[in-house]
Amino acid sequence: MTTVTGSLRLPDGRAALGRVRFELVDRTTRRPLDRAAFDGQGRAIVGRTDVELDQDGRWEVDLPGQSSIDPPGTAWARIHIDENGQPGRPVLLVVPAAGGPVSEHEIMLRDDEPSPPAPAGAAVVEHAWERHGWDGWDEVTITEHGSQVVDRSIDGARGVVTGPGPEGALRVALLRRGTEWRDGEVRSIIHGPTPGTWTGNNAQQGHLHRVRPIGDGWWEGIAVWTSVVFGRGYEYLHVASVRWDGTTLLQSSNDGGAGDRDVAWIDRRLQLVTKDRIDFAGFPITRLGVVPSHGYGLAAGTLVAVDADDDTFDTASVEVQGFDAPAGFVQAIYGPTPVTPVSLTTARGHVTPAGAYSQRRWCPFGMATRVRGGTAGAVVVEIKRWRAGWDPEPGWDDPRVMRATVTPDGGGNVPEMALGPGLHGLWVAHLHGGSSAAFGPVTFHQLD
């Protein structure tokens, strides 16, 4: 079972009243299922579950994850029933296998929203992990590490790639069949490394365009992927025309048009606006008011760093004991002892995911990449990112869109750009120590 949480507020800001109802539905038709098998041990799911909202509009429920339910292709419909008994519009949730608490915003299906238009007659390949699994994907080793291979699995609406153990060089290309085009667009949700596993260099994720073999065991393509070098993480993007043969990876140059120039649009650092502290049996119970008040899904157990205008509230790393999403309060146990109580007052500073959770500052983010046209000497790659689950996807005319021009490298390793046609897919690398990284739904659009 997985603990799922959420909170509901009315348009005027007041907490919603009533209850929330959960029904198991078919993911495609959205019709309730009368019965479904659960966990393969003879247990069944029948009927529905109602949970009362508390005074702040919050709710919490334990639900079976989608991967443990038979038939496949299901989702949980969350329906708000107001104080007058009137139901609202269902929201579909795809629950991961276990753990939590997980915010409904992180697992909410958004395929009811219109996709950006594709050219007339162009192909579109939509891959939903909970329906399709890893069917339709081929794996090509970019750089090997001994005989090690990655493991691929499904966790609700996420496709998960897990490393085999201690390693340093293993990189793989995951290519989606049916996407062999010259010009294309790849869109995905990048969930990043499993929370609590980041060690500073143990995951890379990205998109691939125009991947094809070019002879003598070599492949080429155009890649956009997150950095693990120079002390950077998921906020920084590399862009290059690449070539590989399973042992060596060669990269072109680029004009610096990507990197972290769009980082403000995926940053989940919270602004500190209030602070207070009480003495509870000798323990310093510290409460931090933050905006936005939803905290971008900040959950108990996350490590955060705090920098405040009062040094007694500063810390390089502390575990969040609880987070009040409607009110926007972080609670943690830290501070000077003996405890000096601090009354609720205004504050300035930041609360930032830290340590093994540091990549939660950026993830999950939505990313879309486009490659169109070009010459042997230059290809423009377009990239946009957004806070998945919280902000809408921007259009391609938005000022945050990055445009990087990839060009041959000075050493001649990649003498000309990949012009395709070729397959499109996902890049995964450097999953040290058996760590994992996950992708949300992936969509491929043909643009030529």
At the top level of CATH, the class of 124-264+362-446 is mainly beta
| pLDDT at residue 230, rounded to an integer | 65
Q: pLDDT digit string (tens) for 122-173?
A: 589 999 998 889 999 999 999 988 777 889 999 888 999 998 776 667 899 9
* pLDDT, position 41: 67
Domain map of the chain by residue range?
2-107, 124-264+362-446, 270-359
* Two structure tokens written together for 336: 């000077």
Q: What is the pLDDT of residue 112?
A: 41
pLDDT tens-digit profile of 67-112?
Answer: 888 887 788 999 998 887 777 878 889 888 766 788 888 788 754 4
Report whether 9 contacts 16 (CB < 8 A).
Answer: yes
Q: What is the CATH number assigned to the segment(s) 270-359?
A: 2.40.30
pLDDT tens, position by position, 180-214:
999 999 999 999 888 788 877 778 999 999 999 99
- pLDDT given at position 117: 44
Percent share of the chain, pLDDT over 90: 62
| Residue 145 CB partners (closer than 8 Å, separation 6+) | 167, 168, 169, 170
Among 258, 203, 223, CA closest to 385: 258
What is the third-level CATH fold of 2-107? Immunoglobulin-like (2.60.40)
